Amino acid sequence: MKRSFSILPGFRLASGITLFYLSLLVLIPLCALVWKTTELSLDELVATLTNSRVLASFRVSILTALAAALINLFLGFVIAWVLVRYPMPFKRLFDAVIDLPFALPTAVAGIVLAALYAPDGWIGSFFTELGIRIAYTPLGIVVALMFIGLPFVVRTVEPVLQDLDSQLEEAAQSLGASPWTIFRRVLFPPLIPALLTGFALAFARGLGEYGSVIFIAGNMPMVSEIVPLLIITKLEQYDYAGATAIGLMMLVVAFIMLLVINMLQAWTRKRTGKL
């Protein structure tokens, strides 16, 4: 590793610890995943991945994660907007509680959401009267992923919104723009990169989420079975090859999402001129 000179000590120790730890914990196990997949022939790999149940689970995972991220894009934006710009009572409390999905173990979220949205639950019974079932259908998955993904959008948009120069608005106002025009033409455009980043983060998290989903999903194969659950099912049936192939596919998707998110964050930095 080539590095430029610094009088600060500890590069060797720090890089030693970092590289050793990451190799042992992240790199080698991930290589195992790739390696195991190569034990499958290409035909087997294709057969595993194009199995109708596998395809259905990918469709469920992607569609529900997409729907939840889209809804969160809107809801998260509204919350960030209100928290940054409007005075409101108990703001500190509301702001702190946004991070609840980060702090609450997913299993807890899972059982409580299942209880709330079950046909006889507090919220579920209300929807049952309308003829809508939420728990044990793909809708339930969307609800769980909305819970999990909400803070991602709020927390990426909030700082950018805070740093918006109030002179921009004053300038637009002095030029005679209406509030709606100011929002649409002046305030909203600089927020787009941050909004997209939040959306991508929520989507990526939703794709891989397991704990909060399985209790509310019903887990019916072909209908409400998500990919992570299918991997576990395959493992329990000792179908290691199948689990590995699906896992590799998920890993590839995760890499792509990471790449997209990095690019979006670079774009946000360029727009806001910040780290």
Supply the minimum distance, in Å, between the C-beta of residue 119 and other proteins.
15
- Residue 49 engages other proteins in binding (rule: CB under 8 A): no
Which x/- pattern, by CB under 8 A, does the window 71-100 give for other proteins?
----x--xx-xxxxxxxx--xx-xxxxxxx
- Residue 254 engages other proteins in binding (rule: CB under 8 A): yes
Side chain identity at residue 52, one-letter code:
S
Supply the minimum distance, in Å, between the C-beta of residue 60 and other proteins.
14
Report residue 258 as tokens: 């990471």
Supply the minimum distance, in Å, between the C-beta of residue 202 and other proteins.
12
- Residue 166 engages other proteins in binding (rule: CB under 8 A): yes
Supply the minimum distance, in Å, between the C-beta of residue 127 and other proteins.
13
Site for other proteins in 4-33 (CB under 8 A): 4-11, 13-15, 17-18, 21-22, 25-30, 32-33
Supply the minimum distance, in Å, between the C-beta of residue 75 and other proteins.
5
- 78/82 Cα distance (integer angstroms): 6
Instruction: Give the position of tokens 């049936």.
Output: 237
Q: Are 209 and 148 a contacting pair, CB within 8 Å? A: yes
CB atoms within 10 A of CB 14: 11
Rg (alpha carbons) of the chain, rounded to whole number: 23
Site for other proteins in 177-206 (CB under 8 A): 179, 182-183, 204-205
Phi, psi (5° rounding) for residue 35? -60, -45
The residue range among 40-48, 52-60, 112-120, 191-199 that interacts with other proteins, by the rule CB under 8 A, is 112-120
DSSP 7: S
Of 41 and 167, nearer to other proteins (C-beta) is: 167
Sign of CA dihedral 77, 81, 84, 87: negative
CB atoms within 10 A of CB 19: 12
